[in-house]
Amino acid sequence: MKKSFFVVLLLIFVRLFSQVTPPAQNPGLVKDPFFKNQNTQTQPSKKVINKHADTFGIKEDKYEGNPVFSGNVVFEHQGSVLTANEVVFYQKENFLKAIGNVVLTTADGNRITAEEMEYDGNTERGIARKNVVLTDPKQTIKTETLYYDKIPNTAYFNSGGTIYSNDGSVMYTKSATYYLNTKMIDFIGRSNIETDKYTIVSDNIKTNQNTNVSDFFGPTTIRSKENPRNYVYTELGTHNSKTGESFLNKNSRIHYNDKVLTGDKLYYNRNTGFGKGTGNVMLDDPRQNRFIKGGYGEIYEKKDSAMITDKPYAVKILSKDSAYISAEKFLTFQKPDSIDKLKKKSFLRAFRKVRIFKTNMQGRADSLSFNETDGEMHLMRKPILWMGVKQITGDEIRVYSNPEKEVTDSIRVIGNAFAISKADSLNLKDEFNQIKGKLMIVYLTNNAIDSAKTVGNAQAITYADDTNQKTKEVTRIGVALSTCGEIVADFLERRLEIVSCNIGANTDTYPMSKISKQDRFFKDFNWNTKDRLQKMSDIFLDTPNYPEIVYDSDNSLFDKAEAERKKLEEKNKPKTPVRVKK
């Protein structure tokens, strides 16, 4: 009975133990995928060699029976030296796991420190982890995980890192590859470069630590720390931190002193403040509501000035209208206010073949000077200005406007002032009011001429009309010829109504039957419709060369009266006696 019981019990134990899962086998050394790709080598890699360790031992139940070196451990491989507190050497795989105060010094003198490191002697690759620092003669890289490949001599991290350059700049990035032979750093993703003078933010930077040149392959901003509003932007370009030069080649902008320069290709030197652009250049000044376009431009940040050439034109944006100006060259600059030094005044100058188009005003001149802050514009060298059915010429024309209200207050004509206006804008008769003198001042209300005063050898040819107060019919009285020291002309609803002749006044009014066509025009009369701009695109032409308007000349009253006078003269002539031959 007892013997049968023990046999049954033995069978139960055997059955139970046969159902227990056997202990898991140690999978052995598991390498990071980084070690799997083989480098192309000209010769097989040599074994990693231990040079020193305070203690050495093997534990069969740990590290698959591979030796463990402890205390001041030193390993050498192909000229590189690794030191650590403890190293596990996987002899068959030629692989090291180092722990504590790990330092890898490469054959070319680069140094990597970390708390842990793995090194593969076959591929000559290593992974450093925890408080990793790579130091070489050009900079120091700090990160949490660093991948090192000795054959191409590169270091890579993707866990975020900081790079301290010997020139004082500091770089922050999530991922980067450092090519130790060429000293080139390839930043991947959004990265920052901080210097004492500026900050670079870019989506893709490649920096050469030997030349201090950075190449940009994505949206990039270089911003001044002294004045953060001053910065450059590009999506493809180059920056030299030694010279301060930037070459910007795609969707680029230079922001300086609240202005913006754009162009197909831009150059900017942050040390001198000089910049230039070629191809589709535009200088935008939002504060002045004005921009200038052309084929070439230069800016001088420290002088707060700029130049635009190569078929340039400027646009002054107004709330209800815009003024378009063309010339061969534009200069724009700012100067401190003479009263308040903290404020600046903005000036625009245009040279050679100036053309102006605005809905209610057009003009031509050789050159222009415009104080945009005060609203004072000077047109020089054979200027001509058109306003509605009025034309003004002189040696120099000055236009005064209110920048806030965007209205023209007055016009001053200096030297050989000559104003012409159609006597009646509703017909095509050759009837023109004309006033001329040394100096003329035209006053405007709501951008329409209200009155004009001419002084210095003032002369006028004006058509005199009489309006019936009941029927409102206008009857032509005749033409007045005036010579005065001062002439004042008043306009009502844009029509010349009153002409006052003061200081040595001499005015004679002639009925239409007693004044010839030649006497109704000054000798230098020139009603210019051929050169007058009729649309914005005319500013790009030397002259639009429009057909001259043909006006009807009605001289019938004078011709009829002249014929009657001649008849009367003939009738009143004394008869000459007829001699009879004897």
Which candidate, 234, 164, 239, 163, places its Cα nearest to that of 198?
Answer: 239
Q: What number does CATH give the domain 387-523+550-574?
A: 2.60.450.10
Question: Count of CB atoms within 10 A of residue 302's CB?
Answer: 10
Q: What is the Cα gyration radius of the chain? A: 46
Domain 252-381 class, CATH top level: mainly beta
For residue 29, the model assigns a pLDDT of 78
* Whole-number Å distance between alpha carbons of 123 and 125: 5
Residue matched to tokens 């011709």: 559
Residues in the chain: 582
| 3 state SS for 485-529 | EEEEEEEECCEEEEEEEECCCEEEEECHHHCCCHHHCCCCCCCCC
What the block records as the tokens of 170 is 């500091």
Amino acid 371: pLDDT: 93
Res 358: pLDDT = 92
| Residue 24 pLDDT | 43
pLDDT at 399: 93
Structure tokens given for 443: 């006053």
Those residues with Cβ within 8 angstroms of residue 439's Cβ, 6 or more apart along the chain or in another chain: 412, 413, 414, 415, 417, 454, 455, 456
Over its length of 582 residues, how does the chain's per-residue pLDDT go in tens digits? 444 433 333 333 334 334 444 444 445 678 888 887 666 554 567 899 999 999 989 877 778 889 999 999 999 998 899 999 999 999 888 999 999 999 999 888 889 999 999 999 988 899 999 999 999 888 899 999 999 998 899 999 998 999 998 888 899 999 999 999 999 999 988 999 999 899 999 999 999 988 989 999 999 999 999 899 999 999 999 999 999 999 999 999 999 999 999 999 999 999 999 999 999 999 999 999 999 999 999 999 999 999 999 999 999 998 888 999 999 999 999 988 877 777 889 999 999 999 999 998 999 999 999 999 999 999 999 999 998 888 999 999 999 998 888 888 899 999 999 999 888 877 888 888 888 999 999 888 877 777 888 888 888 888 887 777 777 777 778 888 888 888 888 775 555 666 777 776 778 888 877 888 888 899 989 999 999 999 999 999 999 999 988 888 776 666 666 666 666 666 666 766 656 665
d(CA 176, CA 189) in angstroms, rounded, equals 9
DSSP state of 16: H
Pairing of strands 361-371, 329-336: unpaired
Residue 185 to residue 187: CA distance in whole angstroms: 6
pLDDT of 277: 96
Residues 6 or more apart whose CB falls under 8 angstroms from that of 164 comprise: 139, 140, 141, 142, 170, 171
pLDDT for 11 equals: 39
Report CA 331 to chain centroid distance, whole Å: 15
Give the model's pLDDT for residue 21. Answer: 42
Where are the CATH 2.60.450.10 domain residues in the chain? 252-381, 387-523+550-574
User: Which segments of 195-240 are extended strands (E)?
Assistant: 198-208, 213-216, 220-224, 231-234, 237-240
Q: Which one, of 479, 461, 462, 496, lies nearest residue 558 by Cα?
A: 479
Dihedral sign of CA atoms 226, 232, 233, 236 in order: negative
- What H or E segment, with its residue span, contains residue 557? helix 556-572
* Residue matched to tokens 């925890």: 130
Residue with tokens 């006597």: 423
- What is the sign of the dihedral through the CA atoms of 139, 142, 143 and 144? positive
Q: Distance between CA atoms of 161 and 69, rounded to whole angstroms? A: 31
Chain centre distance of CA 79: 54
**In this structure, are strands 376-380 and 322-326 parallel, antiparallel, or unpaired?**
unpaired
- Measured distance CA(231)–CA(199) in Å, rounded: 9
Cα separations in angstroms, 403 against 86, 318, 374? 79, 9, 7
Q: What is the 3-state secondary structure (H, E, C) of 463-485?
A: EEEEECCCCCCEEEEEEEEEEEE
- At 495, list the tokens: 């029509």
What HEC string does 288-341 produce? HCEEEEEEEEEEECCCCEEEEECCCEEEEECCCCEEEEECCEEEEEEEECCCCC
The partner residues of 305 in beta bridges, in order of sequence, read 300, 333
Tell me which amino acid residue 86 is: E
